[in-house]
Homo-oligomer: A and B are copies of this chain.
């Protein structure tokens, strides 16, 4: 496998590059602007398209930029691949999102890939639109496309505007001496968390074994509430805290439950998650503690 990775400087990108290199694949990162020349020089067999605007509140603030980056950016990638004339044409592994499903009836969980899409924010809509365009390109021109619908993923290095990273960061700073007030959003929201290392393993498995023009949820299959995650992180941190609800962290259009079925991914590729949530949270906390210690020393 010769892999080209867009959005390699985001949260997931470095983990994917590491995993590819550990699997002895050649892996190259690529800016969207440099795509045509990168296609020509790298001649990839797979393109992992991670480049995106990924933060829902930013998408709510700036929908057009989100559509431009996530939808048109993906269309431009597909057309650049086609224009490159590479033979064999590289596979595009597109990282979509569980946000395409939107909020559903309880009877529809765990979410499966055949559901109709009802994105409830511009981020989810930008990904649903990109899926439509990519699958259209596949039907129109035979483009080799596999779509991965990622649910929540966590791991060391994630920015603190994502919930688990925020809780771990606050706890680490409290452990380092900050005041013990911990700001939280909705603790009853339940999410399907997957360690980012399991996420990139799924992407690589799909690049290798996914069926063309098929869509696969990338998720654990189980839901955990934010409150349970917080309890575990407090236990790991070993600090006493005062939990305060922060209205700014309560998203208006938030999905209260998100849990998918990963049956299709597992059946097709043999993938299964290797890292239990407790280890993910321990690693996230350790990284947050190191960062907090560094910032205290500075």
Contact = CB atoms under 8 A, between A and B. Distances in A.
Contacts of A219: none
A122 B102 contact: no
Interface string A124-151: 1110111011011101100000000000
Contacts of A176: none
A124 B102 contact: no
Nearest to A117: B132
B60 A129 contact: no
Nearest to A126: B133
Contacts of A154: none
Given A64-B75, A79-B63, A132-B129, A120 B102 contact: no
A68 B63 contact: no
B71 A133 contact: yes
Contact of A136 (B128, B137, B139): B128
A289 B130 CA distance: 44
B120 A139 contact: yes
**Interface range for A:** 20 to 34
Contact of A124 (B67, B75, B78, B136): B136
A72 interface: yes
Interface in A167-220: none
A118 B133 contact: no
Contacts of A128: 129, 132-133, 136
Contacts of A119: 132, 135-136, 139
A252 B35 CA distance: 29
A121 B102 CA distance: 27
A73 B86 CA distance: 31
Contact of A125 (B116, B118, B121, B135): B135
A125 B120 contact: no
A132 B123 CA distance: 11
A33 to B, nearest CB: 15
A133 B132 CA distance: 11
A253 interface: yes
5 contacts: A63-B75, A63-B137, A64-B76, A71-B129, A118-B135
Interface of A: 60, 63-64, 67-68, 71-72, 75-76, 78-79, 102, 114, 116-122, 124-126, 128-130, 132-133, 135-137, 139-140, 253
Given A71-B129, A128-B132, 11 more contacts: A63-B79, A63-B137, A63-B140, A64-B79, A102-B139, A117-B132, A118-B135, A119-B136, A122-B133, A125-B132, A129-B132
